[in-house]
């Protein structure tokens, strides 16, 4: 029914809510039937004399209620949610929660595999691990078995690292490893350096340990080596935290030459490098890690959350030397006892049989496709992103502030993260991080990006005037 024309005066709700209300009312009255196609959003906006964003929010609200479904290239169709409820079938025909939930673009996760063949292969790995289930339910020594460390060495070898097994540890995720390493390097009130805009987790860890986290100025290639040297002279830091490849949230990658310059400064002042290489496996041509350039200075953390899946909760840690091994083991045991033998066994299986590489190839391909989608929707130069990163950094213009923009997105069921969460030093930018991965599919991601792009074309006052 392309000629559906709601009378917004029939509802006292804000206009976008009124659109959803009237879809439901007209379904109950029989004016709309299952399978009817609603007018295109721009066409309805023009007819009603309201902003496109308001109509888009109205259709999104109707979809959250299970009243309609949208198909890219085809349109928006009535699904019958309200009619089924009226007839008493709500309990067993409720809309799929994955379809009606908010669009969460706040968590920086890799795109989830959707290829049936790959998913079946992943299940086969789980079945193989389950065949030796009972031994995996026992306590085991910290750091992984010899088999797990061999798999870790194989995986780390893809980044050009060849440490001895005694320096490799399998930990229950990057966070616990970072907590232990920072606790070993610095005492309360002592200083750890980082990028001025950096991963929020290191801010939380520094606060937990009562450390001073000091942010260094940056350019498009990462921290400035001269500023690093000056901070070493002035602050006498106990370490420097870096997220050097596809940095979260700015998506920048420190080039090899800049890495060499940073290593030179670190060596001059004897400052350990904490290398959070969460995204290092994603690019096909990433620069060598700090642990390959300055192995005696670097704590390398190769997490699996971003290159296989966050639910594994595993990371491969390489200690800088044998002297660091026992303090690290002691700290990790006190905090975590051990990584789950079940998840270690699964990761080892997937690395050995090639499933991990297949997952990684899928993530690369899907991340690239989503970045292409962003490039087609948002104006060139309006955001920062890498062709293979899971997120973009979106500076705000036209009077939008991070607070107003975040509230506007949340009101439409879209979650983003304001720049405050990432800022260590300096004035907080009017910007947000927008994530592109996780369980969201391309269709819903496109819808969210289009809504976002349209909002940014105008002022917040214009967007608010149509609520």
pLDDT of residue 80: 63
Per-residue tokens: 321 = 């030397």
Per-residue tokens: 389 = 């990163």
* CATH architecture of residue range(s) 360-461: Alpha-Beta Complex (3.90)
pTM, entire model: 0.79
Q: How far apart are CA 45 and CA 228, in angstroms?
A: 53
Which residues of the chain are in CATH 3.90.1150.10 domains? Answer: 360-461
Write the DSSP symbol of residue 274. Answer: E
pLDDT of residue 8: 85
pLDDT of residue 79: 82
Q: Are strands 273-276 and 298-303 parallel, antiparallel or unpaired?
A: parallel
The values of phi and psi at residue 368, to 5°, are -65, -40
Can you name the CATH fold of 6-81? Arc Repressor Mutant, subunit A (1.10.10)
Residue in the structure block whose two tokens are 């340990």: 209
Q: How far apart are CA 152 and CA 338, in angstroms?
A: 16
End-to-end CA distance of the chain: 25
Question: Which residues are CB-neighbours of 330 under 8 A, at least 6 positions away?
Answer: none
Which residues of the chain are in CATH 1.10.10.10 domains? Answer: 6-81
What pLDDT digit, counting tens, does each position of 208-259 carry?
Answer: 999 999 999 999 999 999 999 999 999 999 999 999 999 999 999 999 999 9
What pLDDT digit, counting tens, does each position of 6-24 carry?
Answer: 888 877 778 888 898 888 8
**Which CATH number does 116-354 carry?**
3.40.640.10
Q: How far apart are CA 378 and CA 28, in angstroms?
A: 38
3-state SS class at 254 = coil
Which residues of the chain are in CATH 3.40.640.10 domains? Answer: 116-354
Cβ neighbourhood burial of 9 (10 Å; 0-12, 13-18, 19+): exposed
Q: How far apart are CA 113 and CA 372, in angstroms?
A: 18
User: H or E segment at 54?
Assistant: helix 52-64
pLDDT of residue 81: 56
| Beta-bridge partners for 170 | 143, 316
Q: Contact at 8 Å (CB) between 184 and 331?
A: yes
Q: Contact at 8 Å (CB) between 57 and 103?
A: no
| Beta-bridge partners for 237 | none
Q: Contact at 8 Å (CB) between 292 and 161?
A: yes
3-state SS class at 77 = strand
pLDDT of residue 86: 40
Question: How many CA atoms lie less than 13 Å away from 289 in the CB half-sphere?
Answer: 33
pLDDT by residue for the chain (467 residues), tens only, comes to 557 888 888 777 788 888 988 888 888 777 888 888 899 888 898 888 888 878 888 888 888 788 888 776 678 888 865 444 443 333 333 344 444 456 889 999 999 999 999 999 999 999 999 998 999 988 888 899 999 999 999 999 999 999 999 999 999 999 999 999 999 999 999 999 999 999 999 999 999 999 999 999 999 999 999 999 999 999 999 999 999 999 999 999 999 999 999 999 999 999 999 999 999 999 999 999 999 999 999 999 999 999 999 899 999 999 999 999 999 999 999 988 899 999 999 999 999 999 999 999 999 999 999 999 999 999 999 999 999 999 999 999 999 999 999 988 988 889 999 999 999 999 999 999 999 999 999 999 999 999 999 999 888 877 655 44
pLDDT of residue 375: 97
């Amino acid at each position: 029914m392309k000629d559906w024309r709601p009378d917004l005066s029939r509802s006292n709700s804000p206009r976008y809510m009124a659109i959803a209300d009237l879809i439901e009312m007209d379904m109950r009255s029989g004016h709309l039937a299952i399978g009817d196609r609603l007018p295109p959003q721009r066409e309805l906006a023009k007819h009603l004399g309201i902003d496109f964003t308001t109509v888009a929010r109205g259709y999104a609200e109707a979809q959250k209620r299970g009243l309609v479904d949208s198909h890219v290239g085809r349109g928006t169709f009535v699904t019958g949610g309200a009619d089924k409820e009226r007839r008493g079938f709500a309990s067993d025909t409720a809309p799929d929660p994955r379809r009606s939930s908010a669009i969460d673009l706040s968590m920086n996760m890799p795109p989830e595999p959707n290829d049936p063949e790959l998913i079946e292969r992943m299940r086969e790995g789980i079945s193989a691990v389950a065949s030796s289930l009972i031994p995996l339910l026992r306590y085991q020594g910290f750091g992984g078995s010899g088999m797990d460390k061999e798999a870790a060495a194989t995986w780390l070898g893809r980044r050009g690292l060849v440490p001895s097994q005694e320096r490799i540890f399998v930990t229950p995720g990057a966070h616990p490893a970072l907590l232990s390493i920072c606790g070993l390097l610095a005492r309360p009130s002592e200083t750890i350096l980082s990028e001025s805009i950096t991963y929020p987790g290191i801010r939380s860890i520094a606060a937990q340990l009562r450390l001073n986290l000091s942010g260094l100025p940056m350019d498009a290639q990462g921290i400035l080596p001269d500023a690093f040297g000056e901070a070493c002279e002035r602050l006498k830091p106990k370490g420097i935290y870096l997220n050097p490849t596809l940095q979260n949230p700015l998506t920048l990658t420190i080039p090899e030459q800049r890495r060499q310059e940073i290593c030179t400064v670190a060596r001059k002042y004897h400052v350990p490098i904490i290398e959070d290489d969460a995204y290092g496996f994603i690019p096909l041509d990433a620069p060598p890690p700090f642990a390959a350039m300055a192995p005696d200075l670097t704590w390398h953390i190769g997490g699996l959350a971003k290159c296989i899946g966050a639910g594994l909760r595993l990371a491969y840690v390489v200690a800088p030397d044998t002297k660091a091994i026992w303090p690290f083991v002691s700290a990790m045991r006190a905090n975590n006892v051990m990584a789950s033998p079940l998840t270690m066994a699964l990761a080892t299986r997937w690395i050995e049989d090639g499933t991990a590489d297949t997952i990684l190839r899928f993530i690369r391909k899907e991340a690239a496709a989503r970045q292409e989608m962003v490039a087609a929707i948002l104006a060139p130069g309006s955001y920062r992103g890498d062709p293979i990163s899971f997120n973009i950094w979106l500076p705000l213009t036209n009077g939008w502030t991070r607070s107003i923009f975040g509230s506007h997105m949340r009101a439409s069921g879209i979650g983003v993260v304001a720049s405050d969460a990432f800022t260590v030093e300096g004035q907080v930018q009017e910007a947000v991080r927008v994530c592109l991965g996780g369980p969201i599919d391309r269709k819903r991601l496109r819808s969210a990006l289009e809504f976002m792009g349209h909002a940014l074309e105008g002022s917040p006052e214009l967007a608010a005037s149509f609520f």
